[in-house]
A and B are shown apart, each in its own frame.
Chain A
Amino acid sequence: MKFKNARTAVAAVAFAALAVCLIAGVATGTWCGFGANDIAVLCPVGALLSMVAAKTLIPRAVLSIVVAIALVLLLGRLFCGWICPVTLWRRVKEFFKPVKTREQEAEALSQANQALAAEEIAALKEASATHDCAACGACHAKRNAPFDSRHAVLGGALLTTAVFGFPVFCLVCPVGLTFAAVALLVSLFGAGDLNWSLLFVPAMLVIELVFLRKWCGRFCPISAFMSLISRFSRTGMPVIDNERCLETAKGTACSRCATACTFDVNLRHPDLGELPLHDCARCGDCIDACPTSAISFRVVSGKPVPFADALSTVRSGGKAKTSAAPALDDLEPEEA
């Protein structure tokens, strides 16, 4: 089974289980606050906002944040790839997109990514002969930043919560709204309850997930929180076998891994993705997309390697398959 289907299934089963518990009255909670009996963790953003609103330290909220940090350190934004119900909404949205549009978009993205890759490969080939490539970095423009619009939204959520004294973002969080929709359906069909939430909840979900492009990578403050921590994660990432990768082994601009990435990360050229590599959600789409099966998940994945270093490592490795290109063995690993 492809990773994309596997993680959709995981998210769907997890969501369905919680929805059934909500209907049946088993106190598991939702992803906003999840647990059994007295043991529960809060959503780290909810926990943070709750404490800001109440202007107090809430022991369980602090503990929840610590747990979340530990999980993100181990697994990065795995939640985004495998559990978050927004994953399911994305599949629904994708389903309703005409096949032709989808193909055109994928093609355009593929060409853009290949062009970027070709540019970097060419620049490296040319530059490596003359100067220290890694120290210069002039062969490509960095297309992502350590902080982006999501972090601004997170800041806005903290600010408005402090000003108005209640977790404002929680009202519009698509994760919470998805569960709110379940509860609303129950009260609509159970008690015939008609109210304004029946309009508000679907309207907010549509605005956030249809009209705002790329909610997860550009708006979501939960994703922002996780990306603050995941940059220190060195485990569970997909890693490229440079001996088999078309780009490093043959010098072909392929970048299918970047094109396939649901989360706008570029595994081969980390600086060229819309989001930095630490936003990897361990979704596995790159593994499925790789034409030479060069990518696999590693338990200990280590520090992300810039393309220039990967290329020079292969060239200097003496495998001699691609001796046409100049050797780059005088390169030092670059600080990320």
Chain B
Amino acid sequence: MAGGNPLTRRTLCIGVGATVAMAGLGALRYVGSEPLVRPPGGQDEENLVSRCVHCYRCIEACPEKVIVAASLDAGVLNTRTPRMEFSDCYPGQLDDFRYCDFCAERNGGVPLCAAVCPSGALQLPVDYAPETEVIGVAVLNTETCIAYRSSFCAFCHDVCIQVRGEENAAIYYQNADAADALDTRLPVVDAEKCNGCGACEAVCVSAQAGSTMNASERAIVVKPLEG
């Protein structure tokens, strides 16, 4: 016999209460969540949200400091899971910006975030190669892009060539033939070539807050695939 245990009612109350509270929190996943750009190996959304225990090792391991913990604003399911953040960089710094290079320099192309993940939430595909890995796709907003609105701007175009080389660059000029009319050149993203590295977003100089356009984000931002 478990003895004259006077705690059974408390056990019941706390057990049921806590379970109901956690069920309520869990059910909030169906309220919906914002699609996020994930670190390398985190593209299987179901795998990521089920396994991530919010230990923050990926965030710490990222040498470029482009991984942050998502906040509650992105949905209960996403809360404290890792997401990519490229807009923290000071705009227009072609010699000082942060983006995801899949740790090509620092770890031979094996992303450190996925390497340190203890639960397999970030899991590189078996056929992983840094050259072919895609974490998102850059989307350019012609409403807010300076090149489309007013004057010539080449930051995203130039940085894309800088980090990916002429061959693989995903941003090209729509009207590149007009060699003599620099200020009419309009950047375009080739979604087939873009790997979502975020360099373009990191250097984009389009005005955000305080502008008349009332833009909430930079003119070129990386979006999740199939978002």
Interface, chain A (partner B; CB < 8 A): 21-22, 25-30, 32-35, 37-38, 40-43, 46-47, 49-50, 53-55, 58, 60-61, 64, 141-149, 151-153, 155-157, 159-161, 163-172, 176, 179-180, 183-184, 187, 191, 193, 195-198, 200, 218-219, 271
Contact = CB atoms under 8 A, between A and B. Distances in A.
Contacts of A29: 55-57, 60, 116, 118
Contacts of B4: 141-142
Contact of A176 (B26, B65, B80, B120): B80
B116 A37 contact: yes
B182 interface: no
Contacts of B121: 50
A195 B71 contact: yes
A46 B119 contact: yes
Interface string B5-47: 1111011111110110011011101000000000000000011
A25 B65 contact: yes
Given A28-B60, A37-B116, A152-B18, 18 more contacts: A21-B60, A22-B60, A30-B57, A33-B55, A50-B52, A53-B50, A53-B51, A54-B51, A143-B5, A148-B7, A148-B11, A152-B14, A156-B22, A159-B19, A161-B26, A195-B73, A198-B71, A219-B18
A166 B69 contact: no
A146 B2 CA distance: 7
Interface of B: 2-8, 10-16, 18-19, 22-23, 25-27, 29, 46-47, 49-57, 59-63, 65, 68-69, 71-73, 76-77, 79-80, 88, 112, 115-116, 118-121
Contacts of A200: 72, 79
A153 B14 contact: yes
Contacts of B29: 164-166
A180 B51 contact: no
A308 to B, nearest CB: 15
Contact of A219 (B14, B16, B88): B14
Nearest to A163: B26
Contact of A144 (B7, B14, B54): B7
Contacts of A176: 53-54, 80
Nearest to A167: B53
A198 B72 CA distance: 9
A164 B119 contact: no
